[in-house]
Amino acid sequence: MREKITVAEAISKGKVKLVYLPMVILFLSIGLGFYLQFMHYFEGWIIGVSVFAGFVLAWFAWSYFVVEWKIWAFENVRNVHELKRKAIQNNLIWKDDSWFKKTEIIRYDQKQKLKQLEKKFLEKDIYHDDLNVPKETLIHYSKATIIFGLVLGGTFSGYAIYILLTTEKEYFYLLFLAVGAYFLYNSISKLINNSPQIIINSTGITLHKQSLMKWQNITNECVESRRSGKHMNYYLVFKFNNKNFEFQIDDLNIDGEKLESLMQVYRVRFGKNNQMQ
């Protein structure tokens, strides 16, 4: 086993076969239905058929390629626990107890190969120090997010005030004013808040308004993605003294991949410091 492929590279390749390809198949099928209806080859019912056929073909493509990807990825990536967690978060594969996992198209030899690869899950993931990472990292609110909030809040508020001053009984725009005021208040609060929201070093993690939580009492630290409607939110989650903690990081000047990488480095440094003592 070469184990030279990073988790990020494996996820990127998985998205091509397990997300983008099924989406292309779905849209092509729907597009074909609209074309056949537009050219009057069929009545409007063909669009419904094309949508259904697109979903079936897209699911079939995922079912066929997912096992192939899992074998390649788990064979060539060292940190299989991280890979599996991120593959589930990125909707490449389903959890082991999910019914949808049963729709995978798998041959006998592939099933045997996956059983052999299960041995890799008996080993812990391995991470390494990075000399480019400073002794301590302070994570603040994102300036881009603050500016966006100020511009959006100012636009909503300014437009609402203009309408209310130049027209009569347009009370609907009070809603615009309320939304604008919320964005302005939220953004200004973040702008004047100079304290870091997260501090990470080789000793542990400090969340805003929390005391230091040391690595020896922290377990299962990672960044989780959670869908909220059409939006994806990201959270730093971990257990400290068997108590669950989570902290939303969407408005911070760091992304999930970078934050996880930092935690891995500082965890390694913590281990090194303990060995030296």
Tokens 């198949």, located at residue: 25
Report d(CA 205, CA 267) in Å as an integer: 10
pLDDT above 70 (res 143): yes
pLDDT above 80 (res 39): yes
Contacts of 175 (CB under 8 A, 6+ apart): none
Q: How confident is the model at residue 174 (pLDDT cuts 50, 70, 90)?
A: confident
The H or E element spanning position 136 is strand 136-139
Which residue, among 11, 27, 8, 5, has the nearest Cα to 92 in the 3D structure?
11
Average pLDDT, whole number, for the chain?
93
Predicted pLDDT of residue 65: 97
H-assigned helices in the chain = 7-15, 21-38, 45-76, 80-89, 108-117, 143-166, 173-192, 256-276
pLDDT tens sequence across 94-129: 999 999 999 999 999 999 999 999 999 999 999 999
Report d(CA 164, CA 3) in Å as an integer: 64
Tokens 């922290």, located at residue: 218
- The CB-side HSE value for 177 (13 A sphere, CA atoms) comes to 11
pLDDT above 70 (res 3): no
Predicted pLDDT of residue 69: 97
Which residue, among 78, 90, 88, has the nearest Cα to 127 in the 3D structure?
78
| Lookup: tokens for 258 | 């970078």
pLDDT above 90 (res 274): no
Which residue, among 263, 267, 265, has the nearest Cα to 247 in the 3D structure?
263
Q: What residues pair up with 118 in beta bridges, in sequence order?
A: none
Which residue, among 273, 274, 277, 265, has the nearest Cα to 126 in the 3D structure?
265
The H or E element spanning position 214 is strand 213-214
Tokens 């697109």, located at residue: 54
Predicted pLDDT of residue 2: 52
Global pTM value: 0.80
Residue 183: CB atoms within 10 Å: 19
Residue 22: CB atoms within 10 Å: 20
pLDDT tens sequence across 54-89: 999 999 999 999 999 999 999 999 999 999 999 999
Q: How confident is the model at residue 1 (pLDDT cuts 50, 70, 90)?
A: very low
